[in-house]
Amino acid sequence: MPDTPPPLFVVLNPGSGENEARETRDRIAAVLAASGRPHEIIEVPAPDIASACRTAARRARETGGALVAVGGDGTLNSAAQAALTEGCTLGVIAQGTFNLFAREHGLPLEAEDATRCLLAAQPVPVAVGLVNQRVFLVNASIGLYPRVLSDREAFKQKLGRHRWVALLSGIVSLLGWRRRLVLEIEQDGQLRNLRTPTLFVGNNREQLERVGIGPEVMGTAGRGTLAALAPRPQGRWAKWRLLLRGVTGRLGDSEELDSFAFRSLTVKTGTRRSLEVATDGEVVRMQPPLRFSVSPKPLMLLKPVDGGGGAA
């Protein structure tokens, strides 16, 4: 008799019973049932996603199966953290707004196509970022950007989840932000000081290319290095210029932006107070110093057999 294929443990947030989320779940279940692949679909509300991912990852490791995350950035981040910790394979069915991680790795964006892709996919090592041992797939940041994310959620509660709402809230946050960070950073062993309203660390070439970051900084982001972006302290008109360059994909040309590639970066703030840190859209508080680095252990991601990109 042929060997039984390894099981898939599919974790998703049903979205409080919303029709679209229910239809997505049903489409995924139909594809898996038709294939005969052993699987279990685990539906949990957003606050329980991290715990459910940890349990599913442990079961995947014990059975030689895979944890499959269905959702946006927050769900994928929780699943990646669990998969990396447990040492199991991760599958992704992206259902977010921008789906930058899925796009970066050539994964289908429709639920049925992504599920069929998983059935024939192979595990490939993928480099991920860490900030104080917390995983990030796309980006991590301190300063302005975590505030942008918090403000965006408030705007979405009032105006709905649309891209124009995210853009509007970002503009309001940018123009209203006055705080400057005074940082002492150690970049790959070199010490220097940095003054900036925000420090943004990227691990996703798709995102960095969209805003116009050049190859000298983007380099092997997502494949062994990380890219740091730090706007210089600036007035209102300089903020507008920087925003316009980002929207038009010319951010890398700006003289008002410090940017550099690295493998490890330690950030001290001169205070013992905890900081808001955004990781893949989720805001948490961390105690400085902060250490951004490429994970020494790659994430094993299920990808199409003809897909490229792995850990450096």
CATH number at residue 267: 2.60.200.40
Shared-domain flag, residues 284 and 149: yes
Band (pLDDT 50/70/90 cuts) for residue 176 is very low
**147 and 260 fall within a common domain:** yes
* Total structural domains within the chain: 2
Tokens representing residue 8 in the block: 């898939």
pLDDT at 108: 95
210 and 80 part of one domain: no
Domain contains 120 = yes
Which three-class secondary structure state does DSSP give residue 264?
strand
Residue 309 lies in a domain: no
- Residue 311 domain-assigned (yes or no): no
Q: Report if residue 70 sits inside a domain.
A: yes
pLDDT tens digit string along 36-79? 999 999 999 888 999 999 999 999 999 999 999 999 888 999 99
Residue 126 has pLDDT above 70, yes or no: yes
Confidence of residue 169 (pLDDT cuts 50, 70, 90): very low
pLDDT, position 22: 84
- For 113-121, which contacts have Cβ atoms below 8 Å and span 24 or more sequence positions? 115/27, 115/28, 115/31, 115/32, 116/31, 116/35, 117/304, 118/8, 118/66, 118/68, 118/91, 118/93, 118/302, 119/31, 119/35, 119/37, 120/304, 120/305, 121/91, 121/302, 121/303, 121/304, 121/305
pLDDT of 286 > 70? The answer is yes
Per-residue pLDDT, 67: 98
Of residues 72 and 165, which shows the higher confidence score? 72
Domain identity same for 145 and 250: yes
Write the single-letter amino acid at 159.
L
The CATH number that applies at residue 45 is 3.40.50.10330
Tokens at 77, concatenated: 């981040």
- The answer to whether residues 109 and 156 belong to one domain is no
Rg over CA atoms, the chain: 20
Domain that holds residue 249: 136-294
- Which tokens is 189 given? 């062993």
> Would you state the torsion angle of the CA atoms of residues 50, 54, 55, 60, taken in this order, to the nearest 10 degrees?
130
> What is the model's pTM?
0.84
Residues 310, 122: contact at Cβ < 8 Å?
A: no
| Amino acid letter, residue 25 | R
Residue 235 CA to residue 195 CA, distance in Å, equals: 14
Greater model confidence, 232 or 252: 232
